[in-house]
Structure 1
Amino acid sequence: MSIMLMKILLSLIFLLSVLQNSDGQFEDYCVADEQTPDDQMVGAMNWACDNGANCSAIQENQACYLPNTLKDHASYAFNSYYQNMKHNGASCYFNSAAILSGLNPSHDSCKFEYIP
Structure 2
Amino acid sequence: MSLSVKFAFFCSFSSLILQASFLFVKAQKNNGGVVVSTQLWCVAKNNAEDAPLQQALDWACGPGGADCKPIQQGGPCYDPTDIQKTASYAFNDYFLKKGMTDDSCSFDNTAAVTSLNPSYGNCKFPASASASNGSFSGSTAADMGSNSADFSGCDNILGTIWFWLLITIHLFFVIFQVN
Give the TM interval when normalised to the shorter protein.
Answer: 0.7 to 0.9
Counterpart for residue 111 of structure 2: 98
Instruction: Supply the AA of the counterpart residue of 1:62.
Output: G
- From the CA coordinates, give the structure whose radius of gyration is larger: 2
Contact 2:77 2:123 in 1 (8 A): yes
Counterpart for residue 39 of structure 1: 51
CA pair 19-29 structure 1, distance change in 2 beyond 3 A: same
1:25 corresponds to which of 37, 41, 48: 37
Matches within 5 A, 1:1-116: 19-20=27-28, 23-50=35-62, 51-66=64-79, 68-86=81-99, 90-116=103-129
Q: How many residues align?
A: 105
Structure with bigger strand share is: 2
- Find runs of 4+ consecutive structure 1 residues off by over 4 angstroms: 87-90
- Same amino acid, percent of matched pairs: 35
The answer to which of 88-97 and 65-74 deviates more is: 88-97
Greater RCO (CA < 8 Å, at least 6 residues apart): 1
CA pair 89-23 structure 1, distance change in 2 beyond 3 A: same
**RMSD of aligned residue pairs (Cα, Å):** 2.8
Q: Distance in 2 between matches of 1:96 and 1:82?
A: 14
Q: TM-score, normalised by structure 2?
A: 0.51
Q: TM-score, normalised by structure 1?
A: 0.76
Segments of 5+ residues of structure 1 without an aligned counterpart are 1-13
The SS at the match of 1:24 is strand
